[in-house]
Amino acid sequence: LGKLHFLLNFLGTNLSYLPLFVAGLLGMPRRVADYAPEFAIYNQLATIGAFLLGISTLPFLYNAIISWVKGPKAGDNPWRALTLEWQTSSPPPEHNFETPPVFSRWPYDFGEPVKTGESTETSGPAGD
């Protein structure tokens, strides 16, 4: 469904804007009540593209709703992140931590496990 949404969205966006770009290059005036008949095809293509763009949201909405209702539940820390907001349960309890947390690693260590015998204490930015 994601690929279908992308394809429809891509085609709809390009079909909405490119014909109007070409019509502008050919001299179609803007902000007038009616256009010359030779520009009708460009406006019709742009209208079809706009409808296609609107229709492209249907697979997205269907996928989002089905994933929300029937999709697997995420765990407490699905990305094994080290930042503070991921160090509590999900959803967080009323008081997140019993005691203030002690930081021993940088938040952007990207979840790399600590090797045996390696110190986890940090004193400053790398290179200090």
> Would you say how long the chain is, in residues?
128
pLDDT of residue 69: 93
Q: How confident is the model at residue 127 (pLDDT cuts 50, 70, 90)?
A: very low
The pTM assigned to this predicted structure is 0.59
Mean pLDDT of 50-72: 94
The reply to whether omega before 78 is within 30° of 0 (cis) is no
User: 1 CB contacts (<8 Å, ≥6 apart)?
Assistant: 59, 60, 62, 63
Q: How far apart, in whole angstroms, are the C-alpha atoms of residue 113 and residue 3?
A: 35
The reply to whether omega before 91 is within 30° of 0 (cis) is yes
Q: How far apart, in whole angstroms, are the C-alpha atoms of residue 21 and residue 109?
A: 47
pLDDT of residue 8: 95
Q: How far apart, in whole angstroms, are the C-alpha atoms of residue 16 and residue 48?
A: 7
pLDDT of residue 35: 84
Q: Which tokens belong to 109? A: 């260590």
